[in-house]
């Protein structure tokens, strides 16, 4: 029975270890570690271990495995947008008329370089692009749209969506 348990445990780790399988299956403890790190990335290893019911050494080994496997891609600080003058966030649908690779690449590179753009996604179907823009206020957003976005080659149409209330955010 113990041998079967050990074999199952080794198999589950092999699924998330680089070079030891194609699947990235996570067990319950791994998911619990990720849950806590996503909420509080600065937890000490000792506190994380306590929360997931492990001692610190195996907890640290699991975190390192998750990092090495690419499951944990990095750590970051969550910035309060209002505190840095970016209190207005607008979601923008952008449709482009260009289909040639040169114009599309130029559009994407230019949009990605704008400080106001905090997320840029090329979509399947319509709209062609989904853009999250963070600015100080409505006047700053108008300046962004009229001075930067609508002047780009290939931009056919934009549609802005202002948030009424943020219910859940990825943090």
Cα separation, 92 vs 155, in Å, equals 12
Per-residue buried b or exposed e for 32-47, using 16+ beta carbons within 10 Å of the residue's own CB: bbbeebeeeeebeeee
Q: Is the model's pTM score more than 0.75?
A: no
* Contact (CB, 8 A) for 111 and 152: yes
Does one domain contain both 107 and 56?
Answer: no
**Pair of tokens at residue 96:** 């482009």
Q: Does any domain span residue 73? A: no
Higher-scoring residue by pLDDT: 42, 9: 42
Domain boundary pick from 68, 90, 115: 68
Does one domain contain both 123 and 101?
Answer: yes
Q: How many structural domains comprise the chain?
A: 2
Higher-scoring residue by pLDDT: 77, 116: 116
Does one domain contain both 101 and 42?
Answer: no
Q: Does any domain span residue 171? A: no
Does one domain contain both 86 and 63?
Answer: no
Does one domain contain both 124 and 156?
Answer: yes
Cα separation, 88 vs 104, in Å, equals 27
Full domain range(s) for residue 95: 81-162
| DSSP code, position 16 | T
Q: Does any domain span residue 168? A: no
Does one domain contain both 58 and 97?
Answer: no
Q: Does any domain span residue 17? A: yes
Which residues, other chains included, contact 87 with Cβ-Cβ below 8 Å and sequence gap of 6+?
A: 81, 136, 137
**Per-residue pLDDT reduced to its tens digit, 81-120:** 889 999 999 999 999 998 899 999 999 999 999 999 999 9
Q: Is the pLDDT of residue 19 over 70?
A: no
Which residues, other chains included, contact 76 with Cβ-Cβ below 8 Å and sequence gap of 6+?
A: 41
**Per-residue pLDDT reduced to its tens digit, 39-54:** 999 999 999 999 999 9
Does one domain contain both 104 and 36?
Answer: no
């Amino acid at each position: 029975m113990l041998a079967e348990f050990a074999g199952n445990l080794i198999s589950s780790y092999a699924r998330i270890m680089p070079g030891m399988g194609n699947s990235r299956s996570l067990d319950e403890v791994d998911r619990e570690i990720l849950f806590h790190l996503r909420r509080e990335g600065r937890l000490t290893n000792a506190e994380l271990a306590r929360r997931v019911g492990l001692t610190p050494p195996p907890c640290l080994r699991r975190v390192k495995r998750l990092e090495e496997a690419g499951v944990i891609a990095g750590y970051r600080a969550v910035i309060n947008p209002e505190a840095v003058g970016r209190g207005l966030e607008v979601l923008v649908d952008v449709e482009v008329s260009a289909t040639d690779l040169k114009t599309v690449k130029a559009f994407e590179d230019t949009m990605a370089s704008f400080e106001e753009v905090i997320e840029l996604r090329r979509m399947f179907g319509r709209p062609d692009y989904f853009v999250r823009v963070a600015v100080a206020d409505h006047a700053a957003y108008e300046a962004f749209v009229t001075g930067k976005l609508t002047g780009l080659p290939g931009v056919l149409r934009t549609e802005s969506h202002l948030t009424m209330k943020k219910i859940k955010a990825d943090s």
